[in-house]
Amino acid sequence: MFANLAFSAPWLLVALIALPVLWLLLRAIPPAPIRRRFPGVALLLGLQDDERQADKTPWWLLALRALAVGAAIVGFAGPVVNPPARQAGTGPLLVLLDGGWADARDWPRRIDRAQAAMDEAARMGRPLAIATLTDTPDLIAFRNPADWQGKLAGLAPRPFLPGKAEAWAKILPEGGFDTLWLSDGLDHPGQAALMAALGGHGSVTIVASPRPVYALHPARFADGKVRLSASRLPVSQETSLEVSARGPDPSGVDRELARGILAFAPGADRAELALDLPPELRNRLTRFEIIGQRTAGAVALSDDSLKRRKVAIVTASAEREGLQILSADHFLKQALAPTAEVIEGGLSDLLPAKPDVIILPDIARLTQTEQDGVLDWLDQGGLLLRFAGPRLASVDPVTTGDDPLLPVQLREGGRSVGGAMSWDQPRTLAPFAESSPFHGLAVPADLAVTQQVLAQPGPDLADHTIAELTDGTPLVTRKALGQGQVVLFHVTANADWSNLPLSGLFVQMLERLAVSTRAEAVSGGPDLAGLTWAPEKMLDGYGQPADAGQMAGIKGEALAAALTSGPDADVPPGLYRNEDRLIAVNALPADAKLTAATWPAGTVVEGLDAPGARALGGWLMALALALLSVDVVAALALSGRLPRLGRAAAVLVLLALMPLPQARAQTPTTPDPAADARAVEATRGIVLAHVLTGNPQVDDIADAGLRGLGDQLWLRTSVEPEPPMGVDLEKDDLSFYPFLYWPVTADQPLPSPAAYARLNRFLRTGGMILFDTRDGDIAGFGGSATPEALALQTIAASLDIPPLEPLPKDHVLTRTFYLLQDFPGRFNTPDLWVEAAPPDAEQAEGMPFRNLNDGVTPVIIGGNDWAAAWAVNGDGSPMFPVGRGQAGEDQREIAYRFGVNVIMHVLTGNYKSDQVHVPALLERLGQ
Amino acid sequence: MNQPAPITGDLRAKAEALGQSLPALLAAADHLARTVMMGEHGRRRAGQGDEFWQYRPAHAGDAARSIDWRRSARSDAHFVREREWQAAQSVSLWVDRAKSMAFSGAKGRETKANRARLLALATGVLLLRAGERVGVAGGDPPKPGRAQVVPLAANLSDDAAEDYGVPDAAGLVAHGRAVFLSDFLGPLAPLQEALAQASERGVRGVLCQVLDPAEEDFPFSGRTIFDSMGGTLTHETQSAGELRARYLARLAERKDQLQGLARATGWHYACHHTGAPAQSALLWLYSALEGGR
C-alpha cells in the first residue's frame, strides 16, 4: 500500500532531520522535582540517595517523545495513500459508457469516474466527448469538457443492453483520440469491432467493475410451480440470492407475496428456483426481483403466462347420456385444462366463484335470475363464451324475444352445409380481418364447418363478426356488454358441427380471446403477430416501473423479436397490452446467457473503484497526540506525582466499569426449600397477609394489626387464623392467601409486571385486597390527592379492578357477621369503596336491601388506617390509642367488627346476601 | 480562622484576628476540658472561689492578720481561717510557636500548632478549675482564677518567626509544673538545656510531642525537594520513597531520645498525632500532671 504513498507537503519532512537535536535537548533536561514543605526535613538532613540515575530522561521516554514528534512531522507533511490517478495523454478524449442495465449496479461510481476523467481533461485542456452505447448511434463531436457537464449529470442507465456497437464503430470521428471505455463487463454484439475501430484512433483504456452481474430470466410456469432462473457473471463461488415476488395485495397495495432463495452452485452460471404458490397468489404476481440488486436485469415482470384464468364451464342441467367424447364440453376441457383453472357446475353455483370466463356450451335459455346474475358479472368485466348447438338453433327469437346474452340475433334453425343432404362443400374459415383479435392466425387447410347457426342480418353484424366463413357468414361474433363481452361461436364446442374444436386454431383462438393463457404463448411466435401492442408499464434502468405515457404501440413481430433476442431501444422492457392480453418484455430473455467481455491482448483494464485517496495525516496526528498523552503519564510517573493521579484515574475507571444494574433474572423453577417452607406455613391454616411496603414501621404495624384482628377472630368466630405473614409481591406466591391487607405508602415502588400478573390472578381467582391509604385523618378518601392516594392510583392503574362505588348501605359487608353502618379504623371517615353493584340490581321484596347475589368485591379501598386500630403489642395491649376515652375504645371495637366482617366476607362470600332467599326457601321446603 | 495574623500586620488587624480566634479557641478548649471533667475528675473539693477549709485555733506565731475575727468573736478562743488550696501548684505552659508547627499534612486536618494550643489551653482550663495557677512560660507569672483563661489564650496565640522552637525555661516557677508542647523536630540541645534548668529548679512536667500523621508516615515518592516551613532547611532527593525507611528510623530515634531525656529529668513524655482526637491527649496530659509520678 505504501507504493501509492504521496505527500501533499513533502518539504516538511525535512524537519525530521531535527529529531536528533530533540534527542539531545530532551536528554539534557531531567524531569522537574516537586517542592514540598515538610517540617521533618530536619531529620532528613544528610541522608543520601541510593542511586542518582533519574536525573536523565530514560531512553524509553526519549524514544516515545521522538516518535511523537516524528509522527506529528510526518502527519503535517500530509501523507496520502492512493493519490488520485492522473489520466495521461493529450489530444481529444472519448468517454464511452455502455449505459445498459448492467451499469445500473454501480452507476454513480461510473458517473464519478467519468466526472474524474472530465475534470482531468478540463485541467489538461483536452477536448472531450461522452457517448452512451445504448443511445442511437450519433456523430461524436469533441467539445470543451465544461460543455459536457450537464449531459453527464443527466445520464441514466437504460433498461436494455447496447446492441449496435458496430454502428458506432462506423461513425467514429476522424483523427486521433484516446478512449476511456466504462464497460459493464458484458459482451455485446459488435463490441469487438468497435474496440478495433477505437484502437485505430488512439489508446483505449477499459474500466470494468468487479462487481458481479445478476440477472433474472422471465418466470415460467411449469408443473404447477413458478420457475425462476437467474444468470450471473462472473461465475464464482457458491452464492445465494433472495428473490422477492411482488404483487398487489387484496387492497391493491404492492407487497411482497413470496420470497425464495436462488442458490448458485460453485461454478454454475445459472440457478433455478421453483416457487409453489397457490393460484390466488400466483394470479396476483406482477414482478420478481432479486433483493439488493437495483437493475432492470434483476427484475422479471410477469404477464399472462403465470396467470391461470378461472374458466367456468356450465354443464347442462340435465345429465345427458352418451359418450364422453361427444359431450359438449369435452374438447373445451381438453383445450383449457392445461392452461386454465376449469370449474364446472350449474350457473348459479359458478357465479359466486367469480370466474374470469363463463362458457355456455349450447345452453339456450337461462332463468331470469341467472341472466341478471350473468349481466351483472359481465358489467364487471367477465367474458361470456357461448357455443351454438341444436338447442340454441331451435330457439325461435320471435316467440321468445331477444336474448341479451347473444352478440347477434340468430335465425331459427341454423343451416347445414356439405352434409349428406346438401350440395355444398363444407365451408372453411376466411382469413381473419385486420380488426379481428385473431388477425395473424393461420387457418389450417383441412378446417371444415358443416353446420352453423346463422345471425340475423343487420347493420352492425359486420362490426360484431370477428371470424367468418369463406362465404361471409359469421362464425364468431362478439359484443361488448358493460366492461365485459359476449363471444359466440356459431358452431358447437364438440366436433358435431365442425372440426374446429379439433384443430390447433381453436386453442389459439381461445388464447387470443384471453380465455386461456399459455406459457409458451408469450415466448413469441405466431400468436403475437399481426397485433399492435400498447406499452403499459415500462422499466427504467434500475428496474423501477413507470407508466409508459405516450409511447407508440409496438408491432407484434417486433415484440416477438424482443422476447427472443432481448429488448432494445425500440422495444424497451415493460408490459405490453393488447385487449385483455398482457405480455412482459424482460431485460433478459429466457434463454439468454451472460457472456463476459473479452478485450484484445494488451488493453489496459482498470478497476472502476480505484482505491480512493486516503489521507493519513489525521491518523498520524492522532498517534502523535496519543503518544504525547502517554508521555504525560510517564513523566508524571517519573517525577513521582502519579499516585494521586492514579487514584483519580482508578476512580474514573471504576466509575466507567460500574456494572449496570443487573436485569432481574427470571427465577427458574428449581425447588426452593425456603419457598416450600413458606408455602407449608401459609397453608397450615388461614393466614391473613399484608403486603410488604418496604417501610419497616408500616410493615410492623400491618403485622401487629393483622395479629390483633386474628386474636379477635379466634375469640369471636370460628375463623382461627394462623399468625399473619408479610408478602413480598415480587417473590411470593399469592395463591395461598385469601386476603391481603395493603397499606399504601407514598414512596412505594411499583410492582413489576410479573408481580402485577400475580396480583391480577389473585384478584380474578377470588382474592381480596384491602387498600388502606392511612390518610383518613387529613383527607376523606379520594377527596384531596394525598401522596398515598396518588400512589394508590398509580399502583391500581395496572390492576384488574372492576368499577367501584362508595359502599352502599345494603352492601353485604354491613352484615356478614356484625351489623355495621360505619367502618372506622384509627380514623373514621365514611368513604369506603367496593365493587359497584350491577346496575340492574333490584330491591328485594320485603327486605331492606337489594338482590345482590354474586361476587365478592375484589378490593376494598379506604383510608381509615385499620391496622393501627387493630394492632396489638406482644402482650395483647393495643399498640396505638384510638380516639379519646371510652368513645375511642368503642371506635376500636367497631374497627374490630369491621375487620371480622371483612374476613367473613372474604371467606363466606355472599352467603349473607343469600339470606334474602331464606323465606322463599323455607316456603319451598314446606316448613 | 485559627491562622494567626502576621506579625507585621497592623495592630487593629491583629487585634481583630485575635478577637476572632480567641473565643473559638477558648470555646474549643472549654468544651474539651468539660469532657474530661465529667469523665475523669470526680474528687471532692470546696466550691470555686470559696477558699475556706476549716477553722483552727490560733497558734502562737500566727499573724494577727490571719485571725478570723468574726469567728473568734463568737467564742472565747481565737480561730484562724485555714485555706485548703493555698499550696496550689503553679503550672507553666509552653507551646512551640515556630513555623514548623504550622504544618498540616492533609487538607482539612488542623495544624500541629492549633492542636498544641488547644491542648494547652484545655489543660489550662482544667487546672484553673482545679484551682491551680496557670501561666505561659516566658510570660506573666502563673495566676489562678477563671479569668486567667483569657490572658492564657491571648498569650498562646502568638507566633514566632523561627523554623523550630526553643523551650523557654526562664519563666518557670520553682517547684512548679510545666507542660511543653512541640513537635520537637528541631535541634535537641536547647531542649536538653531547658530541661536541665527546669530540673535544677525542681520543676517537673510533661513533654507532649505533637506530630502530623504525614510526619509519621512519610508518604512521599519521586524526585522531591523538601523545604522546612520557614525555608531555612532544604533537602533534595531523587527518590523520596527510598528515604522513607531511614526517615522513620530517625524519627523513632528522636522519640527515643525524648523519652530518655524525660526519664532522666523525671518528666513524662508522650507523642500525640493531629489525626487522633484531642481528648485522649488531654486526658493523658492531665493525669500525667496529676499523677506526678
pLDDT tens, position by position, A447-476: 888 888 888 888 888 888 888 888 888 889
Minimal C-alpha gap between B46 and chain A (Å): 46
Residue with cell 473559638: B24
d(CA B196, CA A83): 91
User: What number of residues does chain B have?
Assistant: 293
Q: Establish if B46 belongs to a structural domain.
A: no
Check CB contact under 8 Å for B222 and A640.
yes
Can you give the pLDDT at residue B12?
61
Q: State mean pLDDT over A257-261.
A: 86
A674-917 shares the fold of A309-516: yes
CB A294 within 8 A of CB A543: yes
CATH entry, A674-917, from 3.90.1170.50, 1.10.1510.10, 3.40.50.920, 3.40.50.12140: 3.40.50.12140
Per-residue pLDDT tens digits for A228-244: 888 888 888 888 888 88
Can you give the pLDDT at residue A899?
92
Check CB contact under 8 Å for B221 and A43.
no
Can you give the pLDDT at residue A575?
86
Residue A285 has pLDDT above 70, yes or no: yes
As for how many domains chain B has, the answer is 2
d(CA A114, CA A217): 31
Can you give the pLDDT at residue A1?
42
Q: Which residues have CB under 8 Å from B27's CB, separation 6+?
A: none
Residue B147 has pLDDT above 90, yes or no: no
Q: How confident is the model at residue B291 (pLDDT cuts 50, 70, 90)?
A: low
Query: B177 and B97, same structural domain?
Result: yes
d(CA A866, CA A882): 10
C-alpha cell at A60: 524509553
Q: State mean pLDDT over B27-41.
A: 58
Can you give the pLDDT at residue A704?
92
Q: How confident is the model at residue B9 (pLDDT cuts 50, 70, 90)?
A: very low
Pick the residue of A29, A35, A37, A38 with the most B CBs within 10 A to test the interface with B by mutation.
A38
Residue A269 has pLDDT above 50, yes or no: yes
Query: B184 and B78, same structural domain?
Result: no
Domain boundaries, chain A: 93-212+597-607, 309-516, 674-917
Q: Establish if B2 belongs to a structural domain.
A: no
Q: Which has the higher per-residue pLDDT, A855 or A713? A: A713
Minimal C-alpha gap between A44 and chain B (Å): 6
Check CB contact under 8 Å for A38 and B236.
no
Residue B293 has pLDDT above 60, yes or no: no
Question: Residue B191 belongs to a domain with what CATH number?
Answer: 3.40.50.410
Q: State mean pLDDT over B228-247.
A: 84
Q: Give, in order, the Cα–Cα distances in Å from B14 to each of A347, A744, B19.
A: 123, 62, 8
Check CB contact under 8 Å for B224 and A35.
yes
Can you give the pLDDT at residue A527?
66
Check CB contact under 8 Å for A638 and B222.
yes
Residue A171 has pLDDT above 70, yes or no: yes
Q: How confident is the model at residue A897 (pLDDT cuts 50, 70, 90)?
A: very high
Residue with cell 488547644: B118
Residue range of the domain that includes B267: 11-41+88-291
Can you give the pLDDT at residue A838?
72
Residues of chain A contacting B113 with CB distance shorter than 8 Å = none
CB neighbours of residue A545 within 10 Å: 19
Residue whose C-alpha is closest to residue B188's, from B258, B137, B253, B252: B258
CB A813 within 8 A of CB A852: no
d(CA B82, CA B117): 36
Q: Which residues have CB under 8 Å from A258's CB, separation 6+?
A: A244, A245, A275, A277, A281
Query: B35 and B61, same structural domain?
Result: no
Q: Which of A42-46, A175-179, A418-422 has the weakest average pLDDT?
A: A418-422
Q: How confident is the model at residue A265 (pLDDT cuts 50, 70, 90)?
A: confident
Using CB atoms, which residue from B164, B224, B233 is nearest to A640?
B224
Per-residue pLDDT tens digits for A539-550: 888 888 888 777
Residues of chain B contacting A642 with CB distance shorter than 8 Å = 222
What residues does A455 pair with on adjacent strands?
A: A410
Cβ-based burial of B116 (10 A; exposed 0-12, middle 13-18, buried ≥19): buried
Residue A17 has pLDDT above 50, yes or no: yes
d(CA A186, CA A167): 18
Q: State mean pLDDT over A44-67.
A: 72
Query: B134 and B275, same structural domain?
Result: yes
Query: B128 and B252, same structural domain?
Result: yes
Check CB contact under 8 Å for B225 and A35.
yes
Residue A298 has pLDDT above 80, yes or no: yes
Per-residue pLDDT tens digits for B148-207: 888 888 888 777 878 888 887 777 877 788 889 998 888 888 889 888 888 888 888 899
Instruction: Say what the pTM is.
Output: 0.43
Q: Which residues have CB under 8 Å from A869's CB, separation 6+?
A: A705, A824, A825, A826, A880, A882, A891, A892, A895, A896
Query: B110 and B179, same structural domain?
Result: yes
Query: B257 and B206, same structural domain?
Result: yes
d(CA A585, CA A578): 14
CB B236 within 8 A of CB B230: no
Q: Give, in order, the Cα–Cα distances in Å from A685 to each of A202, A688, A692, A719, A720.
A: 105, 10, 21, 10, 8
d(CA A349, CA A358): 12
Out of B85, B106, B141, a domain closes at B85
Per-residue pLDDT tens digits for A656-694: 655 544 444 444 455 678 888 888 888 888 888 999 888
Residue A728 has pLDDT above 70, yes or no: yes
H or E element in which residue A794 lies: helix A787-797
Please enumerate residues of A whose Cβ is less than 8 A from a Cβ of B: 30-45, 47, 49-55, 638-643
Query: B137 and B59, same structural domain?
Result: no
Q: How confident is the model at residue A895 (pLDDT cuts 50, 70, 90)?
A: very high
Which one-letter amino acid corresponds to residue A181?
A: W
d(CA A685, CA A707): 14
Can you give the pLDDT at residue B254?
92
Q: How far is CA A848 from the centre of its chain?
A: 63
d(CA A898, CA A716): 13
Minimal C-alpha gap between B117 and chain A (Å): 18
**Angle formed by the axes of helices A617-638 and A59-76, to 10°?**
160
Minimal C-alpha gap between B185 and chain A (Å): 7
Per-residue pLDDT tens digits for B262-281: 888 888 898 999 888 888 88
Residue A635 has pLDDT above 80, yes or no: no
Residue A430 has pLDDT above 70, yes or no: yes
Share of chain B above pLDDT 90, in %: 7
Per-residue pLDDT tens digits for B88-127: 678 888 888 888 888 888 888 888 888 888 888 888 888 8
Check CB contact under 8 Å for B246 and A34.
no
Residue A645 has pLDDT above 80, yes or no: no
Residue B43 has pLDDT above 50, yes or no: no
Residue A277 has pLDDT above 90, yes or no: no
Q: Which has the higher per-residue pLDDT, B142 or A671? A: B142
Cβ-based burial of B72 (10 A; exposed 0-12, middle 13-18, buried ≥19): middle
Residue A504 has pLDDT above 90, yes or no: no
Query: B19 and B56, same structural domain?
Result: no
d(CA A841, CA A856): 15
Q: How far is CA A336 from the centre of its chain?
A: 37
Pick the residue of A34, A36, A44 with the most B CBs within 10 A to test the interface with B by mutation.
A44
Q: Give, in order, the Cα–Cα distances in Å from B288 to each of A87, A106, B168, B270.
A: 101, 97, 21, 10
Residue A858 has pLDDT above 60, yes or no: yes
> Does residue B249 belong to the interface with chain A, where contact is any CB pair within 8 Å?
no
Per-residue pLDDT tens digits for A306-341: 777 788 888 765 444 445 556 767 788 878 877 778
Residue A834 has pLDDT above 60, yes or no: yes
Can you give the pLDDT at residue A343?
84
Can you give the pLDDT at residue B35?
62
Minimal C-alpha gap between B171 and chain A (Å): 27
Query: B141 and B65, same structural domain?
Result: no
Can you give the pLDDT at residue B209?
92
Minimal C-alpha gap between B44 and chain A (Å): 44
Residue A703 has pLDDT above 80, yes or no: yes
Can you give the pLDDT at residue A741?
92
d(CA A630, CA A857): 71
Residue A219 has pLDDT above 70, yes or no: yes
Query: B194 and B144, same structural domain?
Result: yes
Can you give the pLDDT at residue A870?
92
Q: What is the mean pLDDT of chain A?
A: 79
Check CB contact under 8 Å for B238 and A54.
yes
Class level of CATH domain A309-516:
alpha beta
Query: B110 and B68, same structural domain?
Result: no
Residue A379 has pLDDT above 60, yes or no: yes
Q: What is the mean pLDDT of chain B?
A: 78
